[in-house]
Amino acid sequence: MSSHRQSRVSADSFFHASPSDPLSSPITIYMISGNPGLIGYYHTFLSLLTEKLKGQASQQAKNHAFQIYGHSLGGFELTKSARSETKYYDLEEQICFAQSKLDDFLAGSGEFPTVSDKVPTARPKLILVGHSVGSYIAMEILRRHRERSKNGASPSVDFDIVGGIMLFPTVVDIAKSPSGQKLTRLLSFIPQLAVVVGVLVRILTALIPGAVLRSLIKFYMGSPTDSIVDTTAAFLKSGYGVQQALHMAADEMRTITSDKWSDDVWGMSNVKDPVTRLFFYFGRDDHWVAERTRDEIIELRGGGPTMVVCEEGLPHAFVLKHSDVVAKKVADMVWDIVRD
Identify whether 27 is part of a domain: yes
Residues 4-28 pLDDT 10s = 566 799 999 999 997 765 556 789 9
Identify whether 180 is part of a domain: no
User: Phi then psi for 214, rounded to 5 degrees?
Assistant: -65, -40
Indicate which CATH number applies to the domain containing 316: 3.40.50.1820
Residues 302-320 pLDDT 10s = 999 999 999 999 999 999 9
Q: Vertex 70, ends 65 and 75: CA angle to 5°?
A: 170
Identify whether 254 is part of a domain: no
Model pLDDT, residue 107: 87
Q: Which of 68, 36, 28 is nearest to 52 (CA)?
A: 68
Residues 23-62 pLDDT 10s = 567 899 999 999 999 999 999 999 999 999 988 877 775 7
Q: What is d(CA 35, CA 199) in angstroms, rounded to the nearest whole number? A: 19
Identify whether 226 is part of a domain: no
Q: Vertex 36, ends 18 and 239: CA angle to 5°?
A: 115
Sequence-distant (6+) residues with CB within 8 A of 12 are 38, 39, 40, 71, 72, 76, 77, 78, 79
Model pLDDT, residue 1: 34
Model pLDDT, residue 7: 79
Handedness of CA 58, 63, 65, 70 (dihedral sign): negative
Is pTM beyond 0.85 here?
A: yes
Sequence-distant (6+) residues with CB within 8 A of 6 are 112
What number of CA atoms fall less than 13 Å from residue 146's CA on the CB side?
21
Q: Vertex 87, ends 81 and 92: CA angle to 5°?
A: 130
Identify whether 290 is part of a domain: yes
Q: What is d(CA 69, CA 30) in angstroms, rounded to the nearest whole number? A: 5
Model pLDDT, residue 268: 83
Tally of residues, the chain: 340
What number of CA atoms fall less than 13 Å from residue 187's CA on the CB side?
17
8 A C-beta contact, residue 278 and residue 336 = no
Model pLDDT, residue 221: 92
Identify whether 128 is part of a domain: yes
Task: Give mean pLDDT, residues 242-265.
Answer: 96
CA dihedral 262, 263, 267, 272 (to 10 degrees): -110
Identify whether 132 is part of a domain: yes
8 A C-beta contact, residue 151 and residue 260 = no
* The total number of structural domains that make up the chain: 1
Model pLDDT, residue 82: 60
Is the pLDDT confidence value at 118 over 80?
A: no
- Residues forming beta bridges with residue 49, ordered by sequence position: none
- One-letter amino acid identity for 307? M
Residue 300 lies in domain: 8-172+259-338
Identify whether 245 is part of a domain: no
Q: Report residue 272's pLDDT band, with 50, 70 and 90 as the boundaries.
A: low
User: Phi then psi for 93, rounded to 5 degrees?
Assistant: -65, -35
Residues 57-84 pLDDT 10s = 777 757 788 999 999 999 999 987 666 7
Q: Report residue 114's pLDDT band, with 50, 70 and 90 as the boundaries.
A: low
